[in-house]
Amino acid sequence: MTLPLDPRTAPPLRWGILAPGGIAAVFADAINHHTRAQLVAVGSRNRDRAERFATHHGIPTTHSSYRALVEDPQVEAVYVASPHSAHLEHALLAIKAGKHVLVEKSLARSAAEVEEMVSAARTAGVFLMEAMWTRFLPHVAAVRGVIERGEIGEVVTVIADHGQNMNHLPLEHRLHNPALAGGALLDLGVYPVSFAHDLLGTPDRIHATGSLSSTGVDGQVSISLGYGERAQASLNTTLWSRTATTAVIAGTKGRIEIDTDFYRPTSFRVIGLDGTWWSFDREIDGGFQFQAAEVARCVAEGLTESPRMTWDNSLEVMRTMDEVRRQIGLVYPGE
């Protein structure tokens, strides 16, 4: 099986971080500890926050506006870590400044917003990618290898879930705020949806049921995707419970069981119909370094999109999620 290259072998790249929150801290640690890239600047509308983040992660330059960050000549690539409601605005800001851009998943709130981002990146000739880090992890590459070799036969069923107990968060938190495109789907549900797309492609049938929270975001969603005559995916996401966060890929000759958390670096077992099995287990620190390395390699090669996470991939995932939202009656303010 072909596993991802060591992220330290990727060319160096100078990063600027836009919106230094919790997810940005994870990204910064991965850059600093597992790549040859540099964190050269961070931008926040709150100068104190930017300075604290810069001090903690050894970043030499802080900016008190996003525009100043993207216009910083030191910065080659911008990591957009703001809430989903601002992804389009901030991605366009960076693209128009001529920077390469990695945008936290989900890439945007809707397919229409993704199309606008892609059009801008294409016109500017810069790299743009959704930060769906799962696609670049070693165990996912190994899973795809198992399937491509035919070890489990024809894939007929994919089951995946991602639920986290967010009941402790205050109601003003972004996950509970419709204006910030909160809810389970864009933050958590994108993982199983993107996983199903990665393995089975674009579905031709989508059925969804969901429950909205007291603040008007999606608290829980169950999704069934259909592919041709046989293949199906059963997916679930919730803000109200910590679920198993595992995945199963079942085929006509066997199955793959991916341990918790399926979307993070983890292990899996390949089990044949006769009960024989083997396991994959490769412990690694972090995980975000693999997507950062992908950006660096693509930029060095002059690519504007990743072959592993193409613009069409992100657009197809978002179209599925648009239809899910339509079926459960979820509309974000301003749509």
Write the CATH number for 60: 3.40.50.720
Asked if residue 236 and residue 145 are part of one domain, the reply reads yes
The pLDDT of residue 4: 86
- Establish if 123 belongs to a structural domain: yes
- Establish if 335 belongs to a structural domain: no
Asked if residue 266 and residue 144 are part of one domain, the reply reads yes
Asked if residue 129 and residue 91 are part of one domain, the reply reads yes
Asked if residue 298 and residue 230 are part of one domain, the reply reads no
The pLDDT of residue 202: 98
Asked if residue 154 and residue 33 are part of one domain, the reply reads no
- Establish if 189 belongs to a structural domain: yes
Asked if residue 191 and residue 109 are part of one domain, the reply reads no
Asked if residue 94 and residue 149 are part of one domain, the reply reads no
Asked if residue 149 and residue 123 are part of one domain, the reply reads no
- Establish if 21 belongs to a structural domain: yes
**Which whole-number Å values give the CA distances from 32 to 40, 42, 47, 78, 175, in the listed order?**
11, 14, 22, 15, 28
Question: How many structural domains compose the chain?
Answer: 2
- Establish if 193 belongs to a structural domain: yes
Asked if residue 122 and residue 27 are part of one domain, the reply reads yes
Asked if residue 171 and residue 297 are part of one domain, the reply reads no
The pLDDT of residue 3: 78
The pLDDT of residue 334: 84
Asked if residue 148 and residue 101 are part of one domain, the reply reads no
Asked if residue 51 and residue 158 are part of one domain, the reply reads no
Q: By residue range, what is the domain housing residue 24?
A: 7-133+289-304
The pLDDT of residue 213: 96
pTM: 0.96
The tally of CA atoms less than 13 A away on the side-chain side of residue 16 is 32
- Establish if 310 belongs to a structural domain: no
The pLDDT of residue 1: 55
Residuewise pLDDT in 10s, the chain (335 residues): 567 889 999 999 999 999 999 999 999 999 999 999 999 999 999 999 999 999 999 999 999 999 999 999 999 999 999 999 999 999 999 999 999 999 999 999 999 999 999 999 999 999 999 999 999 999 999 999 999 999 999 999 999 999 999 999 998 899 999 999 999 999 999 999 999 999 999 999 999 999 999 999 999 999 999 999 999 999 999 999 999 999 999 999 999 999 999 999 999 999 999 999 999 998 899 999 999 999 999 999 999 999 999 999 999 999 999 999 999 999 999 88
- Establish if 158 belongs to a structural domain: yes
- Establish if 25 belongs to a structural domain: yes
- The strand pair at 247-251 and 155-163 is best described as antiparallel
